[in-house]
Amino acid sequence: MIVFNGDFVDRGSWSVEVVLTLFAYKWLYPDRVFLNRGNHETNDMNKVYGFEGECKAKHGEMTYKLFADVFTSCKCLLWGKKRYFVVHGGPPVSQDGVLLEEVKKIDRFGRQPGQEGLMCELLWTDPQEQIGRGPSKRGVGLGFGPDVTRRWCELNKITAVIRSHEVRQDGYAIEHDGLCITTFSCPNYCDSTGNQAAYVKMQADGQLSYHQFAAVPHPDIKPMAYSSGFGGMMGL
């Protein structure tokens, strides 16, 4: 089983090719390939960070609208052996006591995550070192401390949260006393950060291993060649 944990598009200039490859694998191996939705599989982000412009330039507006519809069908979470909670941003932590059953009932089809609520938190939250909750550096979602992670995992009998959403210099990081694992599979993010990339491999018994890789040369096209910038979000 392979899980791609969101942010298939935007930032780069080959988002169309990347997401079509993922969809092809999903079509070929429907029971083995799973696509979790990230915060960049959303209309607002696509307008600002490049996917809308790229898709329209390469294949036209109707194709972009089709992609936007398909993105809403992607799951927001997955868990497997030993109950690992795999999600793009993080668990729903704006308040204590949220159960997995509530998360599973989210009606994701045709919906954008908005600025608050369970779906927004799954796609936008970030871990922080400080205990408790804090404002998000992104302006959407929030930060959650190790105590918040522990309470949520214990309540829902979760072994650990595996998430993405943030660059890590080594490609991955194990945080919150092992209860929050970040993995980031884009090396040298935006051709500027020099980071390694990594993926997590889970054995049949639930044991995890981490595998790093570096960037390879690509054609000389800027990472956000199709981006409209924040002016596009305001219709300017």
Q: Which tokens in the block code for residue 143? A: 């930060």
How sure is the predictor about 223, in pLDDT bands with cuts at 50, 70 and 90?
A: confident
Instruction: Report which of 6, 230, 2 is spatially closest to residue 108, judged by C-alpha positions.
Output: 6
Q: Which tokens in the block code for residue 87? A: 């999600």
The count of domains in the chain is 1
Measured CA to CA, the distance from residue 169 to residue 196 in angstroms comes to 6
What single-letter amino acid sits at 30?
P
Angle between helices 15-28 and 51-59 (to 10 degrees): 80
Where in the sequence is the domain holding 193, given as residue range(s)?
Answer: 2-233
pLDDT number for residue 113: 93
pLDDT at 234 over 80: no
pLDDT number for residue 206: 86
Long-range pairs, 92-95, Cβ under 8 A, ≥24: 92/118, 92/121, 92/122, 92/125, 92/152, 93/121, 93/125, 93/133, 93/142, 93/144, 93/148, 93/149, 93/152, 94/121, 94/133, 94/142
Region 4-24 average pLDDT: 96
pLDDT number for residue 233: 38
pLDDT in tens, 130-179: 999 999 989 899 999 999 999 999 999 999 999 999 999 999 999 999 99
pLDDT in tens, 116-125: 999 999 999 9
- Mean pLDDT over all residues of the chain? 92
Measured CA to CA, the distance from residue 196 to residue 181 in angstroms comes to 16
* CB-based contacts of 163, cutoff 8 Å, min separation 6: 5, 86, 87, 88, 89, 90, 127, 180, 181, 182, 183
pLDDT number for residue 82: 75
Question: Phi and psi for 63 in degrees, rounded to 5?
Answer: -65, -40
pLDDT in tens, 30-51: 999 999 999 999 999 999 999 9
How sure is the predictor about 230, in pLDDT bands with cuts at 50, 70 and 90?
A: low
- Which positions are catalytic? 40
Q: 41 vs 80, 130, 179, 202, CA distance in Å? A: 23, 29, 26, 25
Measured CA to CA, the distance from residue 98 to residue 108 in angstroms comes to 18
Measured CA to CA, the distance from residue 152 to residue 40 in angstroms comes to 25
207: CATH: 3.60.21.10
